[in-house]
Amino acid sequence: HVQLVESGGGSVQAGGSLRLSCAASGDTLRSSCMAWFRQAPGKERGVVARISTGIYSTYYADSVKGRFTISRDNAKNTVYLQMNSLSPEDTAMYYCAAGLCRTYVPADRDFPFWGQGTQVTVS
């Protein structure tokens, strides 16, 4: 069983930055495709970014390209999401997920393990 714990959320003014962290239990992260999803009130959950194993290929949603950076540190069993130039449209609950990179655009169904989420509020 995989446990994921997110941290780093909070409230920030537009234009500011936050770095989210997701710590994975055991040695799980090393062999997992990792992704960040987000869900705003009244909206469906959608992928923000993902990073594969091996060559660490990345994918970003169009809305965050050039502003967000996903990275992973397997030695620390942690994946990060650096978020810059934040806008109110980025306000959401952010979830870390572990699974398989079956498709270029990550799908919820390929990620069986989820964290509890961390709230990001941009005003």
CA 36 to chain centre: 2
* pLDDT of amino acid 119: 98
* pLDDT of amino acid 104: 87
For the four alpha carbons of 106, 104, 101 and 34, in that order, the dihedral sign comes to: negative
Three-state DSSP state, 82 = strand
Q: What is the C-alpha separation between 103 and 30, in angstroms, rounded?
A: 19
* pLDDT of amino acid 31: 84
In sequence order, what DSSP letters do the residues of 1-34 get, joined into one string? ---EEEE--EEE-TT--EEEEEEESTTTGGGSEE
pLDDT digits (tens, 9 = 90+) for 45-72: 999 999 998 888 999 999 999 999 999 9
* pLDDT of amino acid 123: 97
* pLDDT of amino acid 55: 87
Residues of the chain with pLDDT under 70: none
The length of the chain in residues reads 123
* pLDDT of amino acid 61: 97
Three-state DSSP state, 80 = strand
* pLDDT of amino acid 52: 93
